[in-house]
Copies of this chain bind each other. A is one copy, B any other.
């Protein structure tokens, strides 16, 4: 099952010639989830050849322009493309009215419906779930309400061995419970251990998105053992005061969160435009957490 992240934008508030404002595309089993929608996100989707039609869920971390100004154009484009399916939009409450007023002027006739879901700003809450995946919002610490998102696969069932099915002639009505861990009792009363019948399910994979935020050590409990963590690193390690005052994080702080959480891999981004060359930022993060990569527009990472 595909579980992949594509960086559509990696700048902070000021885009540069090589970095668009924040937008991430998560592909889980060929269903696309868009996280944040900075200006130009729709152009980046085109550029990286991502199907607009596969996006049905958009999550907005907070209502600063560099995370949301691409939304108006994208919603408009989806209508021009003749979309019919509902679009689910998860964001902090004030966006609903802004969007309604905007649409009432610029897009009187939309080809599809937008279902708005207000994100509870102060608690950990499940925004979306189905059989395969769940998306959890959790509070970050920024100048305005801001949420991180955790994409977590649901635990999968164990796999039945084909050989075991044939050998023990396992009837169909028993198979589901065996996948869930049950042992098999044969007609003669003999008990076959589940481990002889199944192989363990792949471990559920997870991706967490944390931007924009001050250094927040308490995140470690939510991010525990996440596979891939994206954490903003707007500033170099030396700028702790600036980071604190602007409610952003340094490279070392992002890496410290990754280390404390025990994640497998860290991706840093949301770089201030003051750093035309970000290799030094990567080097700094690696001092604390070596398994770290830079987010560059167009980069794709496999989750897990």
Residues of A at under 8 Å CB distance from B?
A: 13-17, 20-21, 39-40, 42-43, 46-47, 49, 63-66, 69-70, 72-73, 76-77, 80-81, 94, 98, 101-102, 105-107
Contact = CB atoms under 8 A, between A and B. Distances in A.
A106 B65 contact: yes
Given A40-B39, A101-B101, A72 B73 contact: no
Contacts of A98: 101-102, 105
A65 B74 CA distance: 10
A47 B17 CA distance: 5
Contact of A16 (B46, B102, B105): B46
Copies of this protein in the complex: 2
A65 B40 CA distance: 13
A151 to B, nearest CB: 27
Contact of A43 (B40, B72, B106): B40
24 contacts: A13-B76, A13-B77, A13-B80, A14-B77, A14-B80, A14-B81, A15-B42, A15-B77, A17-B46, A17-B49, A20-B43, A21-B73, A39-B39, A39-B40, A39-B70, A65-B72, A65-B73, A65-B106, A65-B107, A66-B73, A94-B105, A98-B101, A98-B102, A101-B101
A106 B16 CA distance: 21
B15 A63 contact: no
Sort A-B residue pairs by CB-CB distance and give the 8 closest, nearest first. A39-B73, A40-B40, A17-B46, A69-B73, A65-B76, A65-B106, A17-B47, A15-B43
Given A39-B40, A65-B72, A73-B65, A46 B15 contact: yes
